[in-house]
Amino acid sequence: MTESLLRIEDVTISYPARGWLKRSTPAVEGVSLSLAAGQTLGVVGESGSGKTTIARAVLRLLDCQAGRIWFKDHEVTAFKRVPKWYRREVQAVFQDPTASLNPAWTIEDIIAEPIRVHESTDGRLIRGRVAELLTQVGLEPEMAGRRPVAFSGGQRQRIGIARALASRPSLIVCDEPVSALDVSTQSTIVNLLDDLQRETGVAYLFIGHDLALMRHVSDRLAVMRHGRLIEEGPAEEVYASPRQAYTAELLAASPSLDPHTRRRALAAPAERKTC
């Protein structure tokens, strides 16, 4: 990979210590990652592994104590104030589709906000773009006047994705975008994200905890634990032949859909019958 869109170099991030005399422990320590344009970098780990901290640092919602983050040829960690172009180029989809949409706003207002900030405040142009975006994420443009409460969890996440796409970004940080959804809905959202990547060439920094799903969404996969990078490589390689014992452990933890692999014996089917 020569030309990278996002480059994370030896980054260390600590949260401020709570209370006196307590030393802050770093949430992320010496992590380096890189993501090419139009590709997906998956970051997988347990809760507390620091994967979300990385996402927040890229979005500049957190500051790094050491190391650098580069986007194209700009040093993100050096921004005193985050420039408007960076906000346009780097967008986010959040874990909780309900909390990330203002309940008092209509869908049109929510999706229009990035357009108003970055593109134009012309009412007709905005309405057109919103309709286009809604169609793109598989919703009816006629729904634009409704509020988030009228939508299901999966639909709300589609709205969140439409908002992220509105400013035509080249990178979307997806912080566990499907973890809060039903399994069947997860698959539709993942397919949607795949389609959108193919159509628009957007890159994803994809945070998740389920290695099985991460294998599917990622080109390259990074495994994190206790704030450190354990292993990184092409997704299929990491999934099929993990180099680290921890990665294998994580793989094994994913609950299998085959009841024959479980630890408790299955009852013989004919043994009992209910009603």
Among 16, 19, 142, 184, binds another protein (CB under 8 A): 184
**Rounded-to-integer distance, Cα 252 and Cα 170, Å:** 34
| Burial class, 71, CB count within 10 angstroms (exposed 0-12 / middle 13-18 / buried 19+) | buried
Q: Decide whether 66 or 188 has the Cβ nearer to another protein.
A: 188
Q: Which of residues 39-98 bind another protein (CB under 8 A)?
A: 46-48, 59, 61, 82, 84, 86-88, 90-92, 94, 96
The conformation of residue 182, written as its DSSP 8-state character, comes to -
Which class for 199: exposed (0-12), middle (13-18), buried (19 or more C-beta within 10 A)? exposed
Closer residue to another protein in complex, CB, 66/113: 113
**Least CB distance to another protein at residue 32 (A):** 23
Nearest approach in angstroms of CB 105 to another protein is 7
Nearer to another protein, 10 or 240 (CB): 240
Q: Which residues are within 8 A (CB) of 146 and not within 5 positions of it... i.e. 6 or more apart?
A: 106, 107
Q: How far apart are CA 269 and CA 171, in angstroms?
A: 51
Q: Which is nearer to another protein, 66 or 87 (by Cβ)?
A: 87
Contacts of residues 197-201 at CB distance under 8 Å and 24 or more positions apart, as own/partner, are 197/38, 197/40, 199/136, 200/165, 200/168, 201/37, 201/38, 201/170
Q: Which of 186, 202, 230, 247 binds another protein (CB under 8 A)?
A: 186
Residue of 20, 23, 124, 259 that binds another protein (CB under 8 A): 259
CB 72 within 8 A of CB 125: no
Q: Counting contacts by CB under 8 A, is residue 235 touching another protein?
A: yes
69, 11 Cβ separation under 8 angstroms = yes
Question: Does 114 participate in binding another protein (rule CB under 8 A)?
Answer: yes
Site string for another protein, 116-145 (x = CB under 8 A): -xx---------------------------
Site map 12..41 versus another protein, x via CB under 8 A? ------------------------------
